[in-house]
């Protein structure tokens, strides 16, 4: 059975050119980039070359604005917690609690970082609700600003429903307000302009494994002059912002993957065309189906559906048995149903959100794979509706009572 991979938003396969660029740094050129001898200098040189490539891609003024991390989760934590730590490092701020604005449908690493700071009593926070189409309104961000607002953190592209947020407009609105602006651009880097100065952001996060690079390496762009402190103790690597031995092998791969992005515009148009074909076929051929989020303000590779009277995890398991890898915003664990926080933030009912499916395409996806996926989806959903409709109905009646 030929397997079909439609979960590119979760991770991507390492590009062959990226892998080739990394191989020598596993065992032949294995030096620690912090060492002063020739082995270390050799590693340091390739790290700095990758840093410059990354800086150029994000429009940084200089390469020192690029901080390498273990991925977007660490980058997001460093951006949020590091800014708060820098705030409290000033004696005049000791008794003035700062305010952070974010959205209700951020990635969990952003939400949990902010909620954790709230629980510690270090900040107050506002969670902007998206519109029903999954897009945040700039004016809603503006209305949430307070005198003590320190930071706004809003993702560029939602990781689940693929909707694109008005980052440049928000950046323009925040200009001259002395409020820091951070965006998690993890799902955007493949498809959208991520020039940080044009977007008006002070901090930007991304992860290599979403762009055909290796896992375990990411970036935090930090605009020069942004007040931020390291959040883990250790050495003074990465301009004193990220302690730990530099992952030179991964960084080489990240730089190579970013170089590959510059040549992918035509391929992205093909992906979007295939994605539109997928959406049309699913909506036409499978009844009681709805596309979640705006069809226009959407990442070219993302299609997120809700199927009525279908349980999300069962759908995933049966798709996997048919050789199709996908994702759902619904999670079943310990006998409790937990619908997606993203879909719930759009105002969907639990029973609607529960039957969600995320299909994300990549540069290796073919029309034949889309046709086979729709064929299998049609059959599996029909079968699931026959056996699970009444069970789910009974469950939600109990929940409501």
Could you confirm whether 332 is annotated as catalytic? yes
Residues 6+ apart with CB under 8 A from 201: 167, 171, 181, 182, 183, 221, 223
DSSP per-residue string spanning 349-401:
-HHHHTTEEEEE--TT--HHHHHHHHHHHHHHHHHHHHHHHHHHHHHHHHHH-
Residue 54 three-state SS: helix
One of 125, 332, 338, 350 is an active-site residue; which one?
Answer: 332
8 A C-beta contact, residue 288 and residue 380: no
- The answer to whether 380 touches 310, Cβ cutoff 8 Å, is no
For the chain, the first-to-last Cα distance in angstroms comes to: 45
340 phi, psi to nearest 5 deg = -60, 130
> Where are any strands of DSSP class E within 58-158?
66-69, 99-103, 124-128, 149-153
How many residues are present in the chain? Answer: 401
CB 9 within 8 A of CB 252: no
C-alpha–C-alpha distance, residues 65 and 52, integer Å: 10
320, 361, 380 from 2: Cα distances, Å: 11, 17, 18
Residue 282's CB: how many other CB atoms inside 10 A? Answer: 23
In whole angstroms, give the CA distance from residue 57 to residue 196: 9
Alpha carbon distance 37, 82 (integer Å): 32
Q: What is the dihedral of CA 330, 273, 137, 293, to 10 degrees?
A: -30
Residues with catalytic function: 332
């Amino acid at each position: 059975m030929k397997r079909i991979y439609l979960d590119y938003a979760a991770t991507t396969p390492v590009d062959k050119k990226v892998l080739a660029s990394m191989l020598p740094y596993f065992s032949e050129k294995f030096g620690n980039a912090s060492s002063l001898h020739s082995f270390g200098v050799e590693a340091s040189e390739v790290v700095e070359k990758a840093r410059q490539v990354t800086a150029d891609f994000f429009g940084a003024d200089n390469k020192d604005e690029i901080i390498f991390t273990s991925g977007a989760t660490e980058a997001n934590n460093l951006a949020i917690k590091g800014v708060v730590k820098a705030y409290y490092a000033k004696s005049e701020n000791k008794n003035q609690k700062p305010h952070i604005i974010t959205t209700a449908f951020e990635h969990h690493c952003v939400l949990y970082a902010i909620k954790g700071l709230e629980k510690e009593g270090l900040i107050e926070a506002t969670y902007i609700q998206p519109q029903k189409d999954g897009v945040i309104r700039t004016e809603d961000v503006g209305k949430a600003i307070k005198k003590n607002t320190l930071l706004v953190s809003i993702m560029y592209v939602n990781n689940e429903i693929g909707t694109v947020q008005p980052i440049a407009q928000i950046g323009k609105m925040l200009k001259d307000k002395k409020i820091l602006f951070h965006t998690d651009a993890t799902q955007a880097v493949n498809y959208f302009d991520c020039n940080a100065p044009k977007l008006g952001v002070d901090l930007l996060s991304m992860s290599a494994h979403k762009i055909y690079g290796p896992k375990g390496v990411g970036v935090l762009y930090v605009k020069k002059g942004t007040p931020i402190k390291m959040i883990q103790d250790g050495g003074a690597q990465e301009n004193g912002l990220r302690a730990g031995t530099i992952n030179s092998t991964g960084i080489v791969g990240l730089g190579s993957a970013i170089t590959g992005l510059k040549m992918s515009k035509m391929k992205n148009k093909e992906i979007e065309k295939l994605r539109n074909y997928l959406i049309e076929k699913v909506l036409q051929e499978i009844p009681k189906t709805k596309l979640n989020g705006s069809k226009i303000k959407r990442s070219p590779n993302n299609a997120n559906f809700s199927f009525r009277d279908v349980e999300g995890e069962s759908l995933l398991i049966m798709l996997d048995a048919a050789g199709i890898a996908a994702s759902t915003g619904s999670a079943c664990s310990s006998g409790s149903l937990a619908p997606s926080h993203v879909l719930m933030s759009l105002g969907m009912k639990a029973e609607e959100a529960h039957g969600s499916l995320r299909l994300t395409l990549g540069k290796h996806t073919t029309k034949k794979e889309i046709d086979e996926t729709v064929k299998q989806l049609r059959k599996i959903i029909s079968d699931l509706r026959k056996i699970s409709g009444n069970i789910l109905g009974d469950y939600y009646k109990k929940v409501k009572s």
